[in-house]
Each structure stands twice: as C-alpha cells, then as structure tokens.
Amino acid sequence: AVQRRGYHEKVLDHYNNPRNVGSFQKGDQDVGTGLVGAPACGDVMKLQIRVNKDNGRIDDVVFKTFGCGSAIASSSYLTELVRGMTLEEAGKIKNTDVAKELCLPPVKLHCSMLAEDAIKSAISNYYTKNPNSRATDLSGT
Ligand code: FES
Ligand code: FES
C-alpha cells in the first residue's frame, strides 16, 4: 500500500479518524478495564471491553490514548480487531499483528506493544471481576 512520509496510510487514517474513542463505567460488572503505560515514552492507553455473558464475546470496546500517533492508531485498530472475539482469542493478539497491519517502523514497535498490554490487562481485569467466566469459556468451546 501507499507510504506517505514514512507512515502507512492506515496509520494516518486511524489517527485522523480514531474508531471507538470513549469510556465505560469502570464499575460495570460486564466491563474489563486495562490501563497501561509505555516506560519508553510515558504514553498511556486505557482500553475497556464489554463482554456478553451469554456467548463470552466482546460486545463493545472503547479506548482513550494519551500518546503519539502510532499509539492512537494502534488502539483504534485494536478496537476493530477485538470486537466480536472471545476473550481467549483477544488474549492471543500480539503487538506484531498490530504493527504489521499498520506498517509501523521498528522505532514505533513499543506503541503497538501498548495495545497488546492494554487488551491483556482489560481481559485480566474482567476475569478478576467475573472469576467464574473462565470456566464458562472453556466448557463453551
Ligand atoms: Fe509522537 Fe509519533 S506522533 S512519536
Ligand atoms: Fe510511546 Fe508511541 S512513542 S507510545
């Protein structure tokens, strides 16, 4: 695809039109919240998932990122990626999946790492709040 000044057009698109910006009530039982920071630069990403108890899939997902363009693009893309996934599927996403899709240069890999950390942290927060859902997940598949 087209490269523009070193940034892939998908980065620019997600940066200019970030998808699913927002937040859910942290206290909601169905919501898992991940809040992570990048030691390298101090950027911060908050990612929240809302899980459908009936099928164990991510029904809705929002983010807020206080960070660079690549971090915003990574979180925006991640929200599109995980919607509809089971928690197990979403937990397997690697930052390299995000970096590859957005064609991030090596110096920006840690920005996509924020996205991987954020979804993992949101999932584990959800499991902490809903300790029984893990068993349901396994028996359901
Ligand atoms: Fe901040 Fe890219 S916009 S490093
Ligand atoms: Fe740190 Fe992008 S420069 S998250």
Residue 78 CA to residue 47 CA, distance in Å, equals 10
Q: ipTM value of the model?
A: 0.61
Residue 56 CA to residue 73 CA, distance in Å, equals 26
Per residue in 79-112, pLDDT (tens digit) is: 999 999 999 999 999 999 999 999 999 999 999 9
Q: Residues 26, 40, 41, 53: which is the catalytic one?
A: 41
What is the CATH code for 3-129? Answer: 3.90.1010.10
- Dihedral, CA atoms, 92, 120, 62, 31, nearest 10 degrees? 110
Per residue in 45-64, pLDDT (tens digit) is: 999 999 999 999 999 999 99
Residue 103: active-site member: no
Residue 26 CA to residue 57 CA, distance in Å, equals 18
- Give the residue, by CA position, lying nearest to ligand 1 atom 4: 68
**pTM for this structure?**
0.87
Residue 68: active-site member: no
